[in-house]
């Protein structure tokens, strides 16, 4: 195995993107192997690398890890982005869990029909502005600190910034009613490792396009239509 973490996924966002974000935030260089054919996927399956027959899969520290949450938890703990004690870790898990729920509304967006995309876009904005962003706005306002947990940069901050930028791609002014989150976005984006990841030429993936969708469908044999929530 490489000394650098090696990521096995498609050349696009999906569930791997949060892993890329967290590694980048930790200042960790990583390699990627992109799945482009069914044969590549079958080879991983036959080799026993995909414990539950699915990607993402990450080679790190002599392990072949699957299950996105397990991978993210390991990276966060390894690079001191998981709080200083059990209570802070619980808060981070809670905030990350909420952000995951939000991201779930966006993850399958590229696979929807044009009609369903418009419905889903409206649903995303409604959920974000009424359920998710008000929570983080209140947390930041109530404790008056720069970060979500313990006034230290953590996985929760990385995950929330990723989500904010994803939602802004659907509605550019979505933060207009959330001044705390506007300031949070500016602060976290200016952290050197994050700033570098946001620059052109980084391993951050662009908005999924038709080529990405077709590759995923072909490799995973997704021949059904995805429906909006």
Q: What is the CATH number of the domain that holds 183?
A: 1.20.1050.10
Contact 40, 219 (CB under 8 A): yes
Q: How many domains is the chain partitioned into structurally?
A: 2
> 3-state SS of the chain?
CCCCCEEEECCCCHHHHHHHHHHHHCCCCCEEEECCCHHHHHHHHHCCCCCCCCCCEEEECCEEEECHHHHHHHHHHHCCCCCCCHHHHHHHHHHHHHHHHHHHHHHCHHHCCHHHHHHHHHHHHHHHHHHHHHHHHHHHHHHCCCCCCCCCCCHHHHHHHHHHHHHHCCCCCCCCCCHHHHHHHHHHHCCHHHHHHHCCCCCCCCCCCHHHHHHHHHHHCCCCCCCCC
Q: What is the pLDDT of residues 97-121, one digit of tens each?
A: 999 999 999 999 999 999 999 999 9
Alpha carbon 7 to its chain's center:
14
- 228 part of a folded domain: no
Q: What is the mean pLDDT of the chain?
A: 95
Q: What is the pLDDT of residues 167-211, one digit of tens each?
A: 999 999 999 999 999 999 999 999 999 999 999 999 999 999 999
Exposure on the CB side of residue 219, measured as CA atoms within 13 A: 24
Percent of the chain past pLDDT 70, that is, above it, reads 96
d(CA 110, CA 106): 8
| Segment among 27-31, 80-84, 105-109, 193-197 with least mean pLDDT | 105-109
Mean pLDDT score, 24-42: 97
- 119 part of a folded domain: yes
Q: Supply the range of the domain harboring residue 138.
A: 86-191
- Are residues 205 and 129 both part of a single domain? no
| Predicted local confidence at residue 76, as pLDDT | 98
Confidence (pTM): 0.95
| Predicted local confidence at residue 162, as pLDDT | 98
- Are residues 123 and 70 both part of a single domain? no
For residue 227, pLDDT over 80 is answered with: no
- Are residues 91 and 187 both part of a single domain? yes
- Are residues 123 and 178 both part of a single domain? yes
| Predicted local confidence at residue 1, as pLDDT | 54
- Are residues 65 and 97 both part of a single domain? no
d(CA 116, CA 228): 6
| Predicted local confidence at residue 3, as pLDDT | 87
- Nearest residue to 135 (alpha-carbon basis) of 176, 174, 181: 181
| Predicted local confidence at residue 189, as pLDDT | 98
């Amino acid at each position: 195995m490489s000394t650098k973490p090696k990521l096995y996924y498609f050349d696009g966002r999906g569930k791997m993107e949060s892993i890329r974000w967290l590694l980048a935030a930790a200042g960790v260089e990583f390699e990627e192997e992109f799945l482009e054919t069914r044969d590549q996927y079958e080879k991983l399956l036959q080799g026993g690398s995909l414990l539950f027959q699915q990607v993402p899969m990450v080679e790190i520290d002599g392990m072949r890890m699957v299950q996105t949450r397990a991978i993210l938890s390991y990276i966060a703990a390894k690079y001191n982005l998981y709080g200083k004690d059990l209570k802070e870790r619980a808060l981070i898990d809670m905030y990350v869990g909420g952000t995951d729920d939000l991201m779930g509304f966006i993850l399958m967006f590229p696979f929807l029909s044009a009609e369903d995309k418009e419905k889903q876009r409206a649903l995303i904005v409604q959920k974000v502005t009424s359920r998710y962003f008000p929570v983080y706005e209140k947390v930041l306002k109530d404790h008056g600190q720069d970060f979500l947990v313990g006034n230290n940069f953590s996985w929760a901050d990385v995950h929330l910034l990723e989500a904010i930028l994803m939602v802004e791609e659907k509605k550019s002014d979505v933060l207009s009613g959330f001044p705390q989150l506007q300031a949070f976005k500016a602060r976290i984006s200016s952290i050197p490792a994050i700033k570098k990841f946001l620059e052109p030429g980084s391993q951050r993936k662009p908005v999924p396009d038709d080529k990405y969708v077709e590759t995923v469908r072909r490799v995973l044999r997704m021949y059904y239509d995805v429906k909006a929530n």
